[in-house]
Amino acid sequence: MMTPHCPKCGSPNVISRNLGRKVGGGTGAAAGAASGAVGALSGAKAGALVGAMVGPAGITIGGLSGAVFGGLLGGTTLGVAGAKLGHELDQKMLDNYACCACDCTFRPHAE
């Protein structure tokens, strides 16, 4: 892909703002953390059940590890999905590029 040039002043000194990806990733991670709390609860139950075969210490360790895994999985999954959606918004709908010379913002041209 060629480096974009500012449509206003023609400068090649252009940066990607990636606002959609940043907001989408943050929102997805927050939503994932909330759903991860539910996943943590079910993960804790599953971990405690598996750990029960070892004994009381296994219940505690299994419950904690299941809760951590459930929470991380939810937060990561939706965070990545949100970032991918935000990337698509950056490319197709938002003025993702900013000219460092004249502060013009613009969207990439469709190829």
Residue-range domain boundaries for the chain: 1-20+90-110
In terms of residues, how long is the chain? 111
CA–CA separation, 91 vs 103, rounded Å?
19
At 50-67, the pLDDT tens digits run 777 777 777 778 777 777
| Residue 18 reports pLDDT greater than 60 | yes
Token pair 């939810």: residue: 74
| Residue 110, pLDDT above cutoff 60 | no
8 A C-beta contact, residue 31 and residue 80: no
